[in-house]
Amino acid sequence: MREPIKDKGRLEHILECINNVYEFIGNKTFEQIVKDRMCYFAILHQFMIIGEASNLLTKEFREKHTKTPWRNIIGMRNYVVHGYDIVSKFEILSVLKNDLQPLKQQIEEYISEFDISEE
């Protein structure tokens, strides 16, 4: 039986998805992103993975790192998956403009904590 992915691996998945979103966006305006359906849906897919990976982090890890709004991140995943027909493009814009960069910084900090403890 394979060993389950640990919290550090989940964090690396989250960081990879965030970096993917920035790569998909490039220099596009929000209007260009929305018009480019492939780009828009690729971003939504990354949000789903970020939410699922966050949900799979251990309870202990999430309780230790309370500055990250884990419930909101997991809720966004559920919103995109289960509310697919009512997803607001303006909410997606809000996440892109306001939430993604702070989350990236937090995730990088958490990964560095693991790197320090492994030395």
What are the catalytic residues?
77, 82
Residues 44 and 97: their CA atoms lie apart, in Å, by 15
Q: What letter would DSSP give residue 57? A: S
CB under 8 A, 24+ apart: contacts of 21-30: 21/46, 21/47, 21/96, 21/100, 22/100, 25/96, 30/89, 30/93, 30/96
> Is residue 86 packed enough to be buried (19+ CB in 10 Å), middle (13-18) or exposed (0-12)?
exposed
